[in-house]
Amino acid sequence: TATAKIAPSMLSSDFANLASEAHRMCQCGADWLHMDIMGHFKVELGSIGHFVPNLTIGAPVIESLRKHTEIFMDCHLMVTNPLDYVEPLGKAGASGFTFHYEAAKDNWQELILKIKEKGMKPAVAVKPGTPVEEIYPLVESENPVEMVLVMTVEPGFGGQKFMPEMMDKVRTLRKKYPSLDIEVDGGLGISTIDTAASAGANCIVAGSSVFGAPEPAHVISSMRKSVEE
């Protein structure tokens, strides 16, 4: 079965002190750092399309941070054109590359291959409105994704409320794929971890609950305990 990975979301960190925030999270017991990459704007037929209404970090920041830490950087791409980011993020030292299925319906096969070619762990994310059945082919393909991220908020911002109704997706995936890494992202913390862990999630992203806590180490260890139980 899948082991617990606790991934503080750096979106809630002090961006002006990213290296020290990363070190602090490592000392607090983080397995991964979750890096939210959002907001590539692509001009389509005169209108401006974007995946989420926010703008965060990109490959240059990952590259800078990589010089300060060897931890697994779990990159979550909330962009309309994930393929464009594979090469730059691979070069920058990203460890995991999670693209959104909604932005890769036509090219996920090529995307997974390129991600693997660059030595990163390929994963697919689904927004709350996307049925989980749609990503079965990505898990079952010859070159499969190695993790599925079930969004438990609408992507875009930290600090939103956990959507327990997404646990049906997690339960369905866990039943179908006993050893698959299943990640949840959005609103996870001490009060919601048991719901997510008992549904079968093993990779836990948590931003505001970790960075907002007086003792982040305590939040991380409690979440780990819940997943391992």
Tell me which residues touch Zn ion (CB under 5 A).
36, 76, 185
Distance, CA of 26 to CA of 33 (rounded, Å): 9
Within 8 A by CB and 6+ apart from 122, the residues are 97, 111, 112, 115, 116, 143, 144, 145, 146, 147
Helices (H), the chain: 18-27, 59-66, 83-92, 108-117, 136-140, 167-176, 193-199, 208-211, 216-228
From the list Zn ion, ligand DX5, none, pick the one residue 186 interacts with, judged by a Cβ distance below 5 to 8 Å according to partner type.
Answer: ligand DX5
Contacting ligand DX5 within 21-80 (CB under 6 A):
34, 36, 76
- Among the listed ranges 23-31, 65-73, 157-165, 168-176, the one in contact with ligand DX5 (CB under 6 A) is 157-165
Is 185 labelled a binding residue?
yes
Among residues 158, 165, 157, the alpha carbon closest in space to that of 189 is found at 158
In the bound state with ligand DX5, the residue whose beta carbon lies nearer, of 113 and 190, is: 190
Q: How far is the CB of 12 from Zn ion (least distance, A)?
A: 11
Assess 185 for contact with ligand DX5 (CB under 6 A): yes
Q: Which residues are catalytic?
A: 36, 185
Binding piece for ligand DX5, criterion CB under 6 A, among 5-13, 91-99, 107-115, 170-178: 5-13
Query: Taking a C-beta distance cutoff of 8 angstroms, is the pair 119, 90 a contact?
Result: yes
Closer to ligand DX5 by Cβ: residue 26 or 190: 190
206 binds ligand DX5 (CB under 6 A): yes
